Chain A
Amino acid sequence: EVQLLESGGGLVQPGGSLRLSCAASGFNFKTYAMTWVRKAPGKGLEWVSAISAGGDTTYYAESVKGRFTISRDNSRSTLSLQMNSLRAEDTALYYCAKDHQGVLPDQFDSWGQGTLVTVSS
């Protein structure tokens, strides 16, 4: 059974940093692209960032480009999202998700339960 467990969320002041992690199990992690998607309170899903299976290609939404960095450790089956220069509008529940077909991160068939990030003074 595929399991994705996010951690690292919390309350942070504007301008601060957080590092989210996603521990994966139940599938061959190193062969699947992965992504982060967020859902702000009262709003819809927003794609944030994605990474290829090998970790050599990364993708970012314009809203986070230059502030967030996605990475993965295939030896530990872990996905990470380093978030710097956080803003109030980054407040959301952050989900990690596994790509359905593997190579390109575009359609996601397994999701974690999310970790909540709150940016407020």
Chain B
Amino acid sequence: QSALTQPASVSGSPGQPITISCTGANSDVGSHTSVSWYQQHPGKAPKLMIFDVHYRPSGVSDRFSGSKSGNTASLTISGLQAEDEADYYCASCSSTTYLVFGGGTTLTVL
């Protein structure tokens, strides 16, 4: 199955905002509202950060926000903090493969 396309890496300074994109197709991101984002620190299990495109689970900082336009979803982190340094993955339901993840983005806080 083809993964959703994410940049391999992004970086930013503390306090700055960053955005991670997730590009799919009409069969997944473009036609489904079940788009989610996960944070994974090294050696840890993934953590759900955003579901249904832009909703935050209880306990997730409001510095994290999600959006979607056409076939591209985005995760924005405002006011970067050192603990945000991690890998981030998007995921979407798909009409062809049921569920697909993005390739992952490594966020570095400078």
Contact = CB atoms under 8 A, between A and B. Distances in A.
Given A47-B91, A50-B99, A100-B51, A106 B45 contact: no
A44 B101 contact: yes
Contacts of A109: 48, 51, 57
Interface residues of A, number: 26
Nearest to B33: A106
Interface in A58-110: 59-63, 95, 97, 100-101, 104-109
B99 A59 contact: yes
Nearest to B99: A47
Q: Which 9 A-B pairs have the closest CB atoms?
A: A44-B104, A111-B45, A106-B34, A107-B36, A107-B51, A59-B98, A47-B99, A109-B48, A45-B101
Interface of A: 35, 37, 44-47, 50, 59-63, 95, 97, 100-101, 104-109, 111-114
Given A62-B97, A111-B47, A112-B45, 7 more contacts: A44-B89, A47-B91, A61-B1, A101-B51, A106-B36, A107-B48, A113-B45
